[in-house]
Amino acid sequence: MTEYYLGLDIGSWSTKAVLIDDRKRVVASSLRRSGTDLKKASEECRDEVLKKAGISASDVKVTVATGFGRDAATFASGFRTEISCHARGAFHYFPREITVVDIGGQDNKVIRVSPKGKHISFKMNRKCAAGTGAFLEEVALKLDIPLKDFTELSRKSTRKLKIGAFCTVFTSTEVLALIRQGEKKEDIVRGLLVSVAARVAEMEPLSGTIVITGGVIAHNPGLRDIFEKDLGLKVEVPPEPQLAGALGAALYAMDK
């Protein structure tokens, strides 16, 4: 009989679930906005992966939850920090010494992972939404450009604009001023992505292999271009990078 393990990553922005089998293969996954009812979001993600896999809750051997709202998953049998789960999920795809850069909806994390997969150190930006998914979404509204179009636009840019990312409010004002000055949208969008990468680089000096996870890189793959071309870094992106934390939680569930 196949054994199944479930990982949940309940973030302030979105909730993710990953179901793996006893060969560490991803069987099913789910992602939805967390909203205000984290318990409901976690249960809905769980139910969706069970339905996709064609199994019942009793078929899941162990469930581990992580993330900002992990305590809301009352059906979980274990809990892990989001730092350890993001490190584990990224290392699963890139089993060597790496630096994980997780750019989420509300915060950024830089996690150093040893060649054996242990997280050595980490830094997290929680003081301001600047440089996060919420930051990009807010500015996208000002520009009246869907976030999904950011990558295509940024790759058409011919002019390097320097845009601050120290405060979402100030950056929005700066963007509006650039529009009034007649700057092209593609140059502004690229400038915004550069500011996000710069914000991360200011948190911790980056070197070696960088693995970018989180919803921002999932929806804006052009950000990888910025890290590689502007910062000169070697960058890897796992399949479905927004699910890295949930995958790590599922792998910890298998350990148990």
84 and 149 belong to one structural domain: no
CATH number for the domain harbouring residue 43: 3.30.420.40
How far apart CA 35 and CA 41 sit, in angstroms, is 7
118 and 230 belong to one structural domain: yes
User: What digits encode the pLDDT tens for the residues 45-103?
Assistant: 999 999 999 999 999 999 999 998 999 999 999 999 999 999 999 999 999 999 999 98
pLDDT tier at 13, thresholds 50, 70, 90? confident
Is the pLDDT score of 243 beyond 90?
yes
20 and 103 belong to one structural domain: no
68 and 105 belong to one structural domain: no
> Which residue type occupies 213?
T
136 and 23 belong to one structural domain: no
163 and 146 belong to one structural domain: yes
24 and 57 belong to one structural domain: yes
Question: Sign of torsion, CA 246 29 96 22?
Answer: positive
pLDDT at 146: 84
Instruction: Say if CB 94 and CB 211 are below 8 A apart.
Output: yes
What is the reported pTM?
A: 0.88
186 and 212 belong to one structural domain: yes
231 and 250 belong to one structural domain: no
61 and 161 belong to one structural domain: no
Instruction: Say if CB 39 and CB 73 are below 8 A apart.
Output: yes
247 and 231 belong to one structural domain: no
191 and 212 belong to one structural domain: yes
Q: Which one-letter DSSP state was computed for residue 149?
A: G
The domain of 60 spans 4-89+243-255
Which stretches within the chain are classed as H helix? 38-53, 82-93, 133-143, 150-154, 168-180, 185-203, 215-219, 222-229, 244-255
Domain count for the chain, please give it.
2
